[in-house]
Structure 1
């Protein structure tokens, strides 16, 4: 029964990454603009912050689900001493998941630290640093279609 969900979750995870990348890029662009123009942190900015973090957490949940269902990660867990020497198996069994968890931590730290900022400028600076770091980690850890190391399609079919 669980294997029935695997292709759907894989396609969802592949599609949702674009949502995460778009909203994270929009967030950073708006925060950069507002910091540069010294504009106040508005309720819309707070909504954008929450939406960005929730969007990433949804992707993380899909990723955890995939980790449990994927034949690649199951092989990794069953043959860990051999699997760490196989580039693509190691990437999905260890590297990709670890880096995405670190990116989620960066987003969470940025969101929490920004709450306690005493000025709008400081708040935007904190968000730019932590969300920017998360974006760099995400971009470096996605199995891009053009990657010679762990190539995967940019979009997966649900069928």
Structure 2
């Protein structure tokens, strides 16, 4: 079960990144070019937010269920002194939930905005912040513990 959830969590991050990059790019181009906010713009934002929440749900399965780095690791004495346990037990989880919330709030704010240029501007702001938070907390091995980019 652990390996299955970890595989899903690892591979679905690429969908989050893909749709996040597309949503931010479309928002920037629409904002700078003063284009109309079309269905594809809305769809990319929805896909980004949806895949981000899917990642959170899979991550919860890992954290609260089967991962040795999740809640079980945080119950151990000295977990906050271990950088890997602290990252996966607290930092990664908290910031990724925050990123999902920012993306979802962005979707709501964009839907309630009537002006097309303002929609693109707000989408760029919210989706850009969410994508930046996600990029910071993916375990690339640069400033946090390294994990494989592709699991098999």
TM normalised by structure 1 equals 0.90
Give the structure 1 partner of residue 151 of structure 2: 156
Corresponding position: 1:76 with 2:73: yes
Candidates 28, 37, 54, aligned match of 1:41: 37
Corresponding position: 1:140 with 2:143: no
In 2, Cα distance between equivalents of 1:67 and 1:10: 11
Candidates 54, 79, 84, aligned match of 2:50: 54
State the Cα RMSD in Å. Answer: 1.3
In 1, Cα distance between equivalents of 2:135 and 2:52: 13
* Cα contact 1:13–1:59 (8 A) shared by 2: yes
Q: Which runs of 5+ in 2 are unaligned?
A: none
Q: Structure 1, residues 129-158: CA drift from partner, whole Å, max 9, x if none?
A: 1100011101111101x426401111111x
SS at match of 2:147: coil
In 1, Cα distance between equivalents of 2:54 and 2:143: 28
Alignment size in residue pairs: 151
Q: Which runs of 5+ in 1 are unaligned?
A: none
For residues 96-135 of structure 1, the aligned pairs below 5 Å read 96-135=92-131
SS at match of 2:148: coil
Q: Structure 1, residues 26-63: CA drift from partner, whole Å, max 9, x if none?
A: 11111111111111111222222211111111111111
* Cα contact 1:75–1:83 (8 A) shared by 2: no
C-alpha distance 35-89 of structure 1, shift in aligned 2 (>3 A): same
In 2, Cα distance between equivalents of 1:21 and 1:73: 23
